[in-house]
Homo-oligomer: A and B are copies of this chain.
């Protein structure tokens, strides 16, 4: 993006011209459910369902459990379900823990526009307010689409400079999506919504240096809480500066810096089309590094198209783009984190089981004799025909050499995560949902919950869906990276 110069306003604009937060607020409130394009509904529904799956699996991690230990947490009663638990609490505490849980394993969806994870910054707010206000499924979907559009439109205006500087856009931009979704559900006026966005500008936070620690998912829970809090405060009459975005010491100049953003890109063409429809979100099918997905997909194709006897495999060559190899070349993983970043291990699992599941990253999984035997045959390298300049960056090739000398191969070019061109099927959504929820939700509660989320737009009252969530399994089990 070549940033266009936009007036760096030292002083408030003239009275008649709307400020950026006012312009955003107008757009946030301009859309009704009936305005949504038909294709947005299943996209929103799948993203929400997927994020709930991630919240359930994340809820058993220490990252979430520690939050519950802090004095005061959930001591306040309230109507909002805590995913993976058997209690409800107040909305601010609910979104803090549900948001953190949903991002704890980095298994949630991605937006290329945002350079981050859009849905975990929206879903917790929508369900917490859903429980509090007993909203309909249509309201939930509308709030999702509007929140997604807000975060991604602001992203268009500040990226990639914003990302490259070291901000965690999931949190620093997602907070405005959370505020927008909450503003719709709380029925804020346009003025109150502008105020809420201005408050959120002062609460936005999160630096990328904390990637790799529990603080990364905390950015999500904290951002959810802040976005919702900003909307709640604005509804009660709290004030912020109308020029909180464009002021010389406002969000754009302080977080990005002068001449590094383009306000027109934030405001033009809202919903024409929606970013959710035109760019979409990438759902993550496999519970491991996105850079391992293309070879996994190549191996699954190879496996589906050939009758492979594992005992007859002599070697497996995994060829990836040179950008993908350095952090995923782990020939002999011993820990969950190493396993998630191992081309060798994940492709071996794909061949052996036809699927890569959460349990494959539990500490005991790595020592299993069958996988150990296969692992010794796998080598990963840069694809001979790919250089740093080769695009797209997500291609991979897997070549199996059999003991009889025969070679079979599969080339696969998958978008980061799963793009619109290659959506997860309902079957794949179910497999992930079941795999993610079974660690913290009673077995017989999983399918009814999945079915209700699969028809979210038909729900009269979101709280009836969260009623299905309050049956935790006794055997909650962590799959955390150590």
Chain A residues in the interface with B (C-beta under 8 A): 62-63, 66-67, 69-78, 89-93, 132, 165-168, 198-199, 201-215, 218-219, 222, 229, 232-233, 236-241, 243-245, 247-251, 253-255
Contacts and interface: CB of A to CB of B under 8 A. Distances in A.
A250 B211 CA distance: 10
Contact of A214 (B93, B201, B214, B240): B240
A132 B167 CA distance: 35
A254 B72 CA distance: 32
A208 B71 CA distance: 31
B241 A211 contact: yes
Contacts of A229: 70
A218 B207 CA distance: 21
A380 to B, nearest CB: 23
Q: Tell which of A215, A219, A251, A254 has the most Cβ of chain B within 10 Å.
A: A215
Given A214-B238, A241-B215, A207 B70 contact: no
A175 to B, nearest CB: 10
Given A77-B75, A205-B202, A248-B166, A239 B254 contact: no
Contacts of A132: 71
A11 to B, nearest CB: 12
Nearest to A175: B205
A421 to B, nearest CB: 31
A222 B240 CA distance: 15
Given A167-B254, A249-B207, A212 B199 contact: no
A253 B198 CA distance: 24
A199 B67 CA distance: 13
A319 to B, nearest CB: 28
A203 to B, nearest CB: 5
A249 B78 contact: no
B237 A66 contact: yes
B238 A215 contact: yes
Contacts of A215: 198-199, 202, 238-241, 244
A357 to B, nearest CB: 26
The list of the 4 closest CB pairs from A to B, nearest first, reads: A72-B90, A166-B249, A75-B76, A209-B247
Contacts of A251: 207, 209
Given A72-B89, A209-B249, A202 B219 contact: yes
A222 B203 contact: yes
Contacts of A237: 62, 66
A251 B210 CA distance: 10
Q: Tell which of A78, A166, A219 has the most Cβ of chain B within 10 Å.
A: A166
A91 B69 contact: no
A81 B390 CA distance: 62
A202 B211 contact: no
Nearest to A249: B166
A70 B75 CA distance: 15
A218 B205 contact: no
A166 to B, nearest CB: 3
B166 A250 contact: yes
A254 B202 contact: no
B214 A239 contact: yes
Contacts of A201: 207, 209-210
Q: Tell which of A62, A167, A205, A219 has the most Cβ of chain B within 10 Å.
A: A205
Given A166-B249, A204-B205, A213-B240, A92 B72 contact: yes
Nearest to A229: B70
B78 A92 contact: no
